[in-house]
Amino acid sequence: MKKFIFYLLLFPSLAWAGNADDALIRNHFKQGNTFFDNGHYFKALETYTKVIELDPSHIKAYYNRGLVNQKLGFYDRAINDFTRVIQLKSDYIQAFFERGNAYFDEGSYKKAIEDYSKTLKVIPDDAQSLFNRGLAYKRLKNYKAAYQDFQKLCDSGNDNACTLAKKLSPLLVPEAPLAPKDREKPLSVAKKQPLQPAIHAGNVKGAKQEIPPKIPECSEGMLDLGDGTVKDCKSGLIWMRDLGSSGGIKNWFEAITYVQTLKYPTCGNWRMPTRSELKALSDNLLNCSRNPFLNIKNDFYWTKDEHDPDHAWLVYLFPFSDERINTKKSTLCMVLPVCSGI
């Protein structure tokens, strides 16, 4: 009789413990998602890991932790997490896509192509997989395959893919060999022109000198300057208004080169912002009644601050995250150019 009573008492306690673990797992996973959404990535990593420790088969925790590892530049860890997802659920197509992205970011383009191709086998017209595979082919200088992916997207109305296909098109046509008579024809010697005196614009009658436009004064908020730029009235800095025109995400080296080529009437010396400048901008935007920017989103943005020759500091916007994050310069992140004067 006592033995029977013992089991009656034990079974409810086991059921209660199981329910408690399930509730704890759900709470940890929900908390990890909150950290993720607010840009607290190291806290998200820690919380998702707690979920996995409690439930080693929690597919969504592995997947989300893989996304966090990828954002932080921990590509090998991200690849391991996405691989674990695939082991647990072989038809989890999104895991193949994200693992392809992680392989791409670490420079393993052949493996990235394999994963993008697996995604496309299931979803043949997936635009993201086609575009990313085209980029991977392009990095491997397989221009024909890259062109085919971009042209397929171009035919469906993707302007970015059309631009890339157009750039690759000349690389697909080999130069025609010279005819024998052309090869045997002697080269003519160019005649030198007489040296002309140097002409200075200031000394030429009627020469126009470019006068930069006067930047309007403002005391608070953000001012749209009407030429594709926005002035932060508090700091005086000028920012690019439409982030869509910045060509999307770039690695750190591409971003540095890109901002140096920008030319706007109101400002000439464009550069990458510092971490403190991005924080000030984020704080100022919180107090604005209207956001003048276009295509700004919650994501990682590059700063010009280097951590070492291979790493640079990132900032998470918007909202601004106080976490100090550095990652490989080969990582692809958002670019928000700034200018501090004419």
Q: Are residues 160 and 63 in the same domain?
A: yes
Q: What integer pLDDT is reported at residue 177 of this predicted model?
A: 53
Q: Is residue 48 part of a domain?
A: yes
Q: Is residue 53 part of a domain?
A: yes
Q: Provide the CATH number for the domain around residue 121.
A: 1.25.40.10
Digit-coded pLDDT (tens) for 303-335: 888 877 788 888 877 655 656 577 788 877 888
Q: Are residues 159 and 25 in the same domain?
A: yes
What's the predicted TM-score (pTM) here? 0.52
Count of structural domains, the chain: 2
Question: By residue range, what is the domain housing residue 327?
Answer: 222-339
Selection from 282, 294, 281 nearest residue 242 by Cα: 294
Instruction: Tell whether the model's pLDDT for residue 180 goes beyond 60.
Output: no
Instruction: Tell whether the model's pLDDT for residue 181 goes beyond 80.
Output: no
Q: Provide the CATH number for the domain around residue 325.
A: 3.10.100
Q: Which residue has the higher pLDDT, 300 or 179?
A: 300
Q: Are residues 61 and 166 in the same domain?
A: yes
Q: Is residue 182 part of a domain?
A: no
Q: Is residue 164 part of a domain?
A: yes
Q: Ramachandran region of residue 204, left (φ > 0), alpha (ψ -120 to 50) or beta? A: beta
Selection from 153, 140, 75 nearest residue 110 by Cα: 140
Q: What integer pLDDT is reported at residue 22 of this predicted model?
A: 86
Helix (H) and strand (E) counts in the chain: 12, 8
Q: Are residues 158 and 263 in the same domain?
A: no
Q: Is residue 49 part of a domain?
A: yes
Q: Is residue 1 part of a domain?
A: no
Percent of the chain with pLDDT over 90: 31
